[in-house]
Amino acid sequence: MISNLAPAQPLSWPERLSSVAAFAVPGLALWLPSGYSYGAVLLLLGTLLTLNRWPRQRHEAFTWWFAASMLAMAVVWAAQADPTEHFGRADRPAKFILGAACLLFVTCYPPRPRALLAGLAVGSLGAGGLAIWQMYGLHSERAWGHTNAIQYGNLALCLATMLALYTGAVWRQLRTSARVLCILGVLAGLDASVLSQSRGGWLALLLALPLALAWLYLRRRETFRAVGLGMAAIVIVLMVFNGGVLMERVERMEHEIQTYDQHGEAGNSVGQRLEHWRFAWDIARERPLLGWSFAGYMAEKAARVAAGRYHPSIVEYKFVHNELLDQWVKLGIMGPAMLLLFYALPLAMFLPKRVRMKNYERDAELGAHALALRLCGTCIPVLYIGFGLTQVFFAHNSGIMFYLFMLMLLWAALRSVERQLDALPPRTLVSDALAQ
């Protein structure tokens, strides 16, 4: 039987380009320098070369809303840019603006879902292999990839989580070799997160995992037990190989919290974050509506540290180490409002509601991939919310690029698959026709 995912006619060159990009964005993200950019460049190239086509195409409301939210985030980051920077002032806003154009292109020329799955597997394996090399080959204190340890560890966790969700959804459609490869990829990605020693990612996973398990229990109870057992097995494997690393980081965190609480010590990782949050919370409440702006925030921090009111460890940092608090203190109430919208919109787009999955039974393979794409699209903003509790993730190129381009590729692939499902007759009719 020919798979419904195999196109009835050859792919156009823009669709081939989108499929290559769908592999490259997750597949090269972490184990090559600026690996998350290669797929994005391909999408931008396709966007420019088809400039006479995609602007004239009809787009769904959610696509327009997502594009509008990217433009709004461009304004947000332009408004809080460091005035001492030159190119850097336009760098972040430009990514959001170009991302909006790429979104309209890729929804017209969607990628094949299997390209995304292959990219997730290769990306997770590559991230894990690089982390092992840096820790045990180079004898580094922690794995950092080609960025910093926090970004690297959190994105590796995101890759592994998406791969686990995708694999679970399409498990019956995968060959044994593909199943083994995907399982190894999940383990490798999670191992990269552990070896990065980025504790914020682990917190994000603890927030997201109960939501995922609750949904499985309510909607896919037959797979709940398998997923639960799989997660338990993964935890056991990670503890066997990296238990010492995990316990050392947890114990250090407990010690740093204790010393800050008892002695006000803010010269370590946790203490500095707690002190920064205290400062930002204090001054944000003084100007809750309009904020301090970037320059005002930095000047006020320097003045109050000089007056002895806060620990000197916070002076050098431009960001608060909390996404929502950082937006509030600099831009006032509109900052966190726009950020929350930027999280909420993808959740509204991808959330696997029962009414959205009513046609998934019309074809087992197409339905499995559609479910997988919805689960992956839902998990990205959920994890980013968790990452943002201890890191300003969108301040970094990797954080922006991964969020924008992974979500637009997932969305384009999802809508393509769902249009195929909508075009099929109901399953009962298919069964009757085959019986005759």
Summarize pLDDT for 266-309 with one digit per residue, the tens.
777 788 889 999 999 999 999 999 999 999 999 999 999 999 99
Residue 238, pLDDT > 70, answer: no
Count of the separate structural domains present in the chain: 2
Of 307, 331, 355, which residue sits at a domain end?
331
DSSP 260: H
Helix (H, G, I), strand (E, B) or coil at 397: helix
Confirm whether 436 is domain-assigned: no
Of 268, 303, 331, which residue sits at a domain end?
331
Confirm whether 238 is domain-assigned: no
Residues 401, 94 contacting (CB under 8 angstroms): no
Q: What is the pTM of this model?
A: 0.91
First to last CA, the chain: 18
Residue with tokens 């980081």: 249
Based on the fold, state whether residues 307 and 337 are members of the same structural domain: no
**Given this model, what pLDDT does residue 310 score?**
93
Based on the fold, state whether residues 119 and 80 are members of the same structural domain: yes
Which domain, by its residues, includes 226? 13-233+333-428
Residue 429, pLDDT > 60, answer: no
Residues in the chain: 436
Confidence of residue 224 (pLDDT cuts 50, 70, 90): low
Helical ranges in 50-148 per DSSP H? 61-79, 87-108, 113-132
| Per-residue pLDDT tens over the stretch 338-366 | 999 999 999 999 999 889 998 999 999 99
Residue 4, pLDDT > 60, answer: no
